[in-house]
Amino acid sequence: MKILFITPYPPSRIRVRAYGFIQQLCREHEVTILTQISNPQEWSDSLALQQQGYEVVVVSEPRSYALLRSGRAVFSQLPLQVAYARSACFFHQAQRLCARKHFDVIHVEHLRGIASVDALAQDYPLVWDAVDCISELWRQTARSGPSLALRTVALLEYKRTKRYESQIQQKIAHIITTSENDRQGLLALSQRKNGPERANLEHIAVVPCGVDLDYFVPTEQRYRPYNIVFSGKMSYHANVVAAHYLYQEIMPLIWRVEPAATLTIVGSRPPQSIQRLRLDQRIEVTGYVEDIRPYIRRAHIMLSPMVYSVGIQNKVLETMALGTPAVISTQSAQALKACEGQDMLVATSAQEFATMALRLMGDAALRENISQHGRRYVEQQHRWFDMTQRLLDSYRNAITGETQKTTAATRTIL
C-alpha cells in the first residue's frame, strides 16, 4: 500500500502517535511523510526521520506567518488554531505529491493537519486521525485553564471548534480517535448537526495509542526512595495545571507525613511558573531531556493528577510499560481498559492522591504487584502492531468507500 502520511509537525518520540504508526507501516508499506515545520526543533526532528531512512517532504514557513493567519481570523468564525495551521503552501505541496505519485490512501493527523488539506477528501481516499475531540478540550480549558486569558480564549475556541469539527465531518467519511470518549464527543457534534436519525454513527473508529515495548522496558535501575515523577510536554496548558495542582495541593499532604519526598517534573519548555518551582529544593524541573526513561525508572512512583484532559495520556502508558507504579486521575483512567487497583491506582481528589502515593511508597509488595500488572496490561492492549492493524482496517474502508465497521470490541477497547 502506498500511503501519504500528513502531519502538522514531524513525528518523533514526543509526537509519539504518528511516530509509532509510521514505524509499523514502513515495515510492509510505502510511506511518504508530508510535514510542516516552523522552528529549529522541528527541523531537527525532520532530519532525524530522514536519517532513519524515511521519505520526508517538508514545508517550512516562519512562525510569524502562522501567527498572522491567526490574527486575521480573530473576528471570523474560524478556530484560531485552524487558521494558525492553514497553509496554502502546504496544501499545494500535497496536491503536487498526489499528482506526481499514486497513493492508495492519505492519512492526515490532528485538527491542525486537516486544516490545510480537507479538500483532498473530495478526490482521494482519506483517513483523518482527529486524535482527540478538541472542542471538548477547549470546553474543559474554559473552566479550568491556568489563566484568565487562556480561559477567555478557550471559551471563544470552544464555540468555533465545535462548529468546525461538526462541519469537517460532513467532508470526511473516515475518522479515527484515540478513545471512545473522544469518539462520542465527535459523534455528538455530528448528531447535533444532522439529527440522530440522519447521523452516520459508523464513520468514526477508535484506534488507541500504542507503546514501543522494546524501548520502554523495565530495568533493575535502583529507584530513589520517596521520589515522585510527573512527566509531559510542559508547554501544554493541561500539564501546567496538573503540575501546579500536584505541587500546591498534593505534595503538602505528602510532606506532612513523609518530609523526605521529592518531586521531579520532566518535560520540554516549562513556563516560568513551573521553572520557579526549582526554588523549592525538594523540586527538580528538568526541561527538555533526550531520554525520559531514566527519570521514570528511578522514581518511586508516578503521579498524573490531570485536572482536565482528553484522549489517552501517553505518559501513563509509558510509565506502566517501564514498570513504575502510577496513580492517575479518573479522567485519564476513563480512556483505558486497565483494572483499577491492579494495573494502576485511580484518585479523584488531592487527599486521595496523597493517600495512595504514601500507601504505594510504603508497601513494596503492592508496588511490585502494580508494576507487573501495569506492564502486562500495556503488552496486551497497546502493542503498536495491533493498533496499526486497526488503522489499516480504516485505510481499507476508505479505499473501498465503505463506512467504518465499528464493532462493539472496536468501540469499547480502552
227-381 has the same fold as 2-210+383-412: yes
Q: Using alpha carbons, select from 210, 205, 129, 204 the residue that is nearest to residue 386.
A: 210
Beta strands in 148-231 (DSSP E): 175-177, 204-206, 227-231
Q: Output helix, strand, coil percentages for the chain, rounded to the nearest 5.
A: 50, 15, 35
Helix or strand (DSSP H, E) at 54: none
Q: Residue 237: pLDDT band by 50, 70, 90 thresholds?
A: very high
Q: What pLDDT score was predicted for residue 194?
A: 59
Please compute the mean of the pLDDT values over residues 134-153 and round it to a whole number: 95
Q: What pLDDT score was predicted for residue 401?
A: 84
Q: What pLDDT score was predicted for residue 195?
A: 54
Is the pLDDT score of 197 beyond 90? no
pLDDT averaged over every residue in the chain: 92
CATH architecture of 2-210+383-412: 3-Layer(aba) Sandwich (3.40)
C-alpha 93/C-alpha 117 separation (Å) is 10
Please compute the mean of the pLDDT values over residues 112-119 and round it to a whole number: 96
Q: Using alpha carbons, select from 229, 206, 232 the residue that is nearest to residue 381.
A: 206
Is the pLDDT score of 221 beyond 80? no
Place of cell 480573530: 74
Is the pLDDT score of 413 beyond 70? no
Residues contacting 44, CB < 8 A, separation 6+ = none
Which of 17-21, 28-32, 65-69, 400-404 shows the lowest per-residue confidence on average (mean pLDDT)?
Answer: 400-404
Q: What is the pLDDT of residues 85-102, one digit of tens each?
A: 999 999 999 999 999 999
Residues contacting 214, CB < 8 A, separation 6+ = none
Q: Residue 343: pLDDT band by 50, 70, 90 thresholds?
A: very high
Q: What pLDDT score was predicted for residue 219?
A: 86
Confirm or reject CATH 3.40.50.2000 for domain 227-381, answering yes or no: yes
Q: Residue 190: pLDDT band by 50, 70, 90 thresholds?
A: confident
Q: Residue 406: pLDDT band by 50, 70, 90 thresholds?
A: very low
Q: What pLDDT score was predicted for residue 202?
A: 72
Q: What is the pLDDT of residues 281-340, one digit of tens each?
A: 999 999 999 899 999 999 999 999 999 999 889 999 999 999 999 999 998 998 899 999
So where are the chain's domains?
2-210+383-412, 227-381
Interhelix angle 350-361/364-381, rounded to 10 degrees, is: 110
271 within 8 A of 235, measured Cβ to Cβ = yes
Give percent of the chain above pLDDT 90.
Answer: 87
Q: What pLDDT score was predicted for residue 407?
A: 35
| Adjacent-strand bridge partners of 129 | 109, 176
Q: What is the pLDDT of residues 246-290, one digit of tens each?
A: 999 999 999 999 999 999 999 999 999 999 999 999 999 999 998
Cell of 298: 528511578
Give percent of the chain above pLDDT 70.
Answer: 94
> What amino acid is encoded at 255 in this protein?
W
C-alpha 354/C-alpha 289 separation (Å) is 27
Alpha carbon of 228 to those of 232, 243, 267, 298, 390: distances in Å? 14, 12, 14, 9, 35
